[in-house]
Every structure is written in C-alpha cells, then in structure tokens.
C-alpha cells in the first residue's frame, strides 16, 4: 500500500482520546524504520550466501546439490514476486486504498511494476516504498505527516512486506536449512560457507516470524498489540524450538533414504488439503488461491499458523500431536533400521536436541497461549475515523494469524 497520504481533516472531539491511545500503540517509529533496513540487509546477505554456496558446489563438482540449493532460492523469489505483483494490482482496484483511481504506484506505472517483478525485484520495490514513505514520516518535523492514518498505512505496507518475507522464509530458508543439515550429516568436513548458510537461514526464519507477528497485529486497529519483551521472547522460543526440532527430525528421516522425501510430500499434501477444506479466501483470483493454499501447506510442514482466523484449539492439538509423533518416532526408526547409529555421537546429539527442543517448544507454547497471548480486542479503535472499515476490507484480515 503505497499511495500518497491526504490530510485527515478535522478530528471529532469524542474520538480524540481513543485516537491518541491508538496512535501510541501503532506509531511507526524511527526504531521500526531502522529495523526495516536491518531486515533488508539480512534478506540480501541470506540470499547472497545461498547463491555463493551454490557456486561453491558447482566448483566442487556437486551439481545436484548446487541445483537444489539454488532451486530453493529461485522458488522463494518466484512465489514472492507473483504475490507481490498481484497485491499491487489489487491495491490499484481497491476503492478504500486508492479512492482517486490512480493508475500509478508512487509514480511508477503498472507496466513498470511488472518489469520490476519480472526481474525479481518485487520485494526490493516494496522495501523502497516503505523506507521512502517511512523516512518522510519519522525523520521530518511535519505535523501533517504524524497522523494515525499515515502510521496505520505504513504498518499496512510493512505487513504486506512481512507476509512476503514469511513466504520466502518458509519456501527458501527452511528447506535450505534442512538441505544443508542433511549435507553436513553426510560429510566429515563442513565448510564455513555451509555453517554461514545454516545460521543465516535460522536468523531469517526468526526475523520473519517476529516481524510478521508484530506488523500484522499493529496493522489491525481492532486487535490488541502484545507488548514486547517477555511475550515476544516466549513466542520466538516456542517457534524456534518447535521448528528446529522438526527440521532435525526431517533430516534424520532423509538419512534413512533420499526417497523419504515422499513422506515430506505427503505432509505437504495434508497441509494443502486442510487449507482447501477450510475454504480460504485470501486471493482475488482462483488460480492465486490455489497457489496460496499450496504455500500454506508448505508452511504447515514446519510450524502451525491459524489459517483462517478462527478458533484453532482443536486443530492445534491435532497438529502438535502429529508433530510429537514424528519427532519421537523418527530417531527410534533410524536406530531400528540402521543399528550402527546407536554409537554415532552426532546421532545422539541430534536426538537429544530433537527431544529437548520438542519438549521445550511445547512448554513455551503452553506458556504463551495460556498466559501471554492477547485475548482482548481494542474496541476503542473500532470506530475511529473509519479505520475499522479499512481494516475489515482487503487482504490483511485474511492473513495467517500467528
């Protein structure tokens, strides 16, 4: 969402107090702007490291590994370009976002935007728009630029970007992490580039999860924002422990046989089918909706999200029951089929991490949802200057709920 901001006009006195409280909760700050730059740098370094690693595999004559490493990068980029361009088109046709019917986006024509996305620069275009608009708000003294509508729209831009980064993290960084762990387990000498790729993939997933959660909740005025600090730390630990233990479990599964990838394909089909049965309505076209459900199915291979913004206690219990079964049985299955693994130090270490990470992840999950997850809605913001109407239209209300 990158349209020029118009003056808000006169504010009605009965809503002044509510507006002030809302502005405090969703103000786009200088720190938020600087963190956006940090996210951009992390994205560039993560992609650059994976490309460099793919080139190293080529020089070593390991062409299949190079193709897989580069393939995950390209798939992540392709999917994010498709959704980014589709959202730009939706914004142009949305009367709430573009009431004037402007056919350009920040001075760039639709054909120009299409060219940027064909070149793989869709995310960079969004970073440019967000940083440019954010700079005008947080680094200038103009009072007209410091209205709640402006900050709300900045967070809407940030939420679009964070959703795309979430797609990229689970389509590129998560499988990249799994692939590099699998390669490391099959070779004695692990290069610095491989370690760097694994560390950056882990950081990228962590960043995407926290940034998405905070941006989404701040872009919805009727939803209460969770304070930073302990709640965010517990949420991050819950996600990292469950995802890392699951990735390690998948890596042991692949050690049984490369054909075990068929089991992962079945898990992806189950997640995709579940998304289809929920009848998600995220996209404006049927074909994009099918792609979206496939992406959601891939994300569900690694972690749980509320796909449709509904009560998910039962589905979450089923999900993490299956998660526990996979994590507990995979090491046992490996020992039964490959007995020599019982004395392998790396296997014992990985098994300990899987069991410990699974247990800690579930403990952090219970702590978060029982005591720290925000349940109350900010009803004061529902009626302020039409923000409820804007929040309830468009795609943001259909985003995956953390």
Cβ pair 112, 70 in contact under 8 A: no
Is residue 3 a part of any domain in this protein?
Answer: no
Is residue 244 a part of any domain in this protein?
Answer: yes
My answer on whether 111 and 248 are in the same domain is no
Block residue for tokens 């209460």: 224
Cβ atoms within 10 Å, residue 367 = 17
Q: Global pTM?
A: 0.85
My answer on whether 221 and 97 are in the same domain is yes
Is residue 210 a part of any domain in this protein?
Answer: yes
Q: How far apart are CA 394 and CA 402, in angstroms?
A: 19
Residue 102's pLDDT is: 75
Q: How far apart are the first and last CA of the chain?
A: 22
My answer on whether 147 and 246 are in the same domain is no
Is residue 343 a part of any domain in this protein?
Answer: yes
My answer on whether 255 and 290 are in the same domain is yes
My answer on whether 188 and 328 are in the same domain is no
My answer on whether 138 and 160 are in the same domain is yes
Structural domain count of the chain: 2
Angle between helices 63-93 and 148-168 (to 10 degrees): 150
Block residue for tokens 């680094």: 139
My answer on whether 359 and 387 are in the same domain is no
My answer on whether 364 and 383 are in the same domain is no
My answer on whether 114 and 262 are in the same domain is no
Q: For every one of its 402 residues, what pLDDT tens digit does the chain have, with 9 covering 90 and above?
A: 444 433 434 444 443 444 444 445 567 888 889 989 999 999 999 999 999 999 999 999 999 999 999 999 999 999 999 999 999 888 877 766 666 767 777 677 788 888 899 998 889 999 998 999 888 888 875 555 557 778 888 888 899 999 999 999 999 999 999 999 988 888 767 888 888 999 999 889 988 988 888 888 777 766 666 667 888 889 989 999 999 999 999 999 988 887 888 999 999 999 999 999 988 888 888 999 999 999 999 999 999 988 877 777 888 999 999 999 999 999 998 888 888 777 677 888 899 999 999 999 999 999 998 888 766 554 343 333 444 444 444 677 778 877
My answer on whether 213 and 247 are in the same domain is no
Q: How far apart are CA 234 and CA 116, in angstroms?
A: 38
My answer on whether 125 and 94 are in the same domain is yes
Tokens of 365: 């999950």
Tokens of 364: 């952090």
My answer on whether 164 and 91 are in the same domain is yes
Is residue 253 a part of any domain in this protein?
Answer: yes
Q: How far apart are CA 151 and CA 145, in angstroms?
A: 9
Q: How far apart are CA 129 and CA 106, in angstroms?
A: 8
Residue 10's pLDDT is: 41
Is residue 12 a part of any domain in this protein?
Answer: no
Is residue 14 a part of any domain in this protein?
Answer: no
Q: What is the 3-state secondary structure (H, E, C) of 106-126?
A: CCEEHHHHHHHHHCCCHHHHH
Tokens of 162: 């964070």
At 216, is the secondary structure helix, strand, or coil? helix
Residue 66's pLDDT is: 94
* Domain encompassing residue 231: 226-373
Is residue 21 a part of any domain in this protein?
Answer: no
């Amino acid at each position: 969402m990158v349209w020029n901001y118009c003056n808000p006009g006169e504010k009605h006195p009965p809503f002044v107090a509510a507006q002030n409280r809302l502005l405090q909760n969703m103000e786009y700050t200088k720190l938020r702007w600087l963190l956006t730059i940090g996210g951009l740098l992390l994205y560039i370094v993560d992609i650059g490291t994976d490309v460099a690693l793919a080139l190293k595999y080529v020089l070593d004559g390991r062409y299949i590994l190079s193709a897989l490493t580069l393939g995950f990068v390209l798939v992540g980029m392709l999917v994010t370009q498709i959704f980014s361009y589709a959202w730009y088109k939706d914004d142009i046709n949305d009367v709430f976002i573009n009431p004037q019917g402007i056919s350009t986006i920040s001075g760039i024509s639709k054909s120009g935007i299409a060219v940027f996305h064909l070149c793989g620069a869709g995310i960079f275009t969004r970073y440019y728009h967000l940083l440019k608009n954010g700079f005008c708000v947080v680094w200038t003294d103009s009072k007209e630029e410091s209205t709640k509508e402006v900050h709300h729209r900045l967070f809407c831009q940030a939420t679009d970007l964070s959703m795309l980064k979430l797609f990229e993290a689970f389509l590129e960084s998560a499988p990249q992490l799994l692939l590099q762990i699998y390669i490391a387990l099959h070779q004695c000498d692990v290069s610095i580039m491989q370690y760097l790729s694994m560390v950056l993939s882990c950081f990228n997933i962590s960043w995407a999860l926290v940034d998405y959660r905070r941006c989404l909740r701040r872009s919805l005025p009727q939803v209460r924002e969770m304070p930073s600090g302990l709640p965010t730390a517990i949420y991050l630990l819950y996600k990292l422990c469950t995802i890392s233990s699951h990735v390690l479990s998948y890596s042991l599964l692949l050690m049984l046989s490369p054909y075990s990838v068929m089991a992962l394909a079945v898990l992806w089909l189950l997640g995709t089918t579940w998304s289809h049965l929920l009848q998600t309505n995220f996209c404006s076209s049927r074909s994009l909706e099918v792609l979206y459900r496939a992406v959601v199915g891939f994300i569900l291979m690694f972690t749980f999200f509320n796909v449709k913004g509904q009560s998910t206690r039962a589905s979450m219990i089923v999900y993490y029951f299956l998660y526990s079964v996979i994590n507990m049985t995979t090491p046992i299955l490996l020992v039964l089929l490959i007995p020599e693994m019982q004395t392998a130090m790396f296997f014992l270490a990985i098994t300990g991490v899987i069991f410990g990470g699974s247990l800690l992840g579930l403990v952090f999950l219970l702590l978060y949802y029982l005591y720290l997850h925000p349940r109350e809605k900010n009803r004061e913001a529902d009626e302020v200057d039409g923000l409820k109407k804007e929040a309830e239209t468009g795609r943001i209300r259909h985003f995956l709920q953390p």
